Homo-oligomer: A and B are copies of this chain.
């Protein structure tokens, strides 16, 4: 069902997503959809959650490979993974981590991007042993929010992601984080 949902999103966007279509595409009765999910929103939620898992796994794998000179390389790698997911993961370009459906889809107490920022922070702290300060948390939350918005724009304008805008997003994020991390 999640795959059916992703396919429909790619074809007709979030507005084209109906519970009936999900059922048809997945070859199950509409009642069966509601067997697994309390409502339509929950289907999107599950897909967004799956996207988050994939994102986390890919970052972990990349961090394990190592070879990063400094935090800046790491941030670059994370952006690259995020961009690549837009291009290859079905439905990701439309749904991403759920913000099209609801900013609080992943967690009712936190914005989707806050959840994503939290995951990234955790992984960076574990891998690099940097201080896990409030300052770092805030900076990452802002960087994720801003970077996400600009990358979203890049993929709205061009299904493969407008390269110039993607490059600007990287510049923006690197610049902002640099001014935060280097200063005392």
Contact = CB atoms under 8 A, between A and B. Distances in A.
Interface of A: 103, 111, 113, 138, 141-142, 145-150, 153, 156, 164-165, 168-169, 171-172, 175-176, 179
Nearest to A165: B142
B179 A138 contact: no
Nearest to A141: B153
A176 B175 contact: yes
Contacts of A176: 171-172, 175-176
A62 to B, nearest CB: 25
Prevailing SS type, chain A contact patch = helix
Contact of A138 (B113, B141, B142, B168): B168
A175 B175 CA distance: 8
Query: In this complex, which of A138, A145, A176 has the most chain B Cβ atoms within 10 angstroms of its Cβ?
Result: A145
Given A164-B138, A176-B172, A176-B176, A145 B150 contact: yes
8 contacts: A103-B156, A111-B156, A142-B172, A145-B150, A145-B153, A171-B179, A175-B176, A175-B179
Contacts of A147: 146
Given A138-B164, A164-B138, A172 B153 contact: no
Contacts of A146: 146-147, 149-150, 172
A76 B71 CA distance: 30
A138 B145 CA distance: 19
A141 B156 CA distance: 14
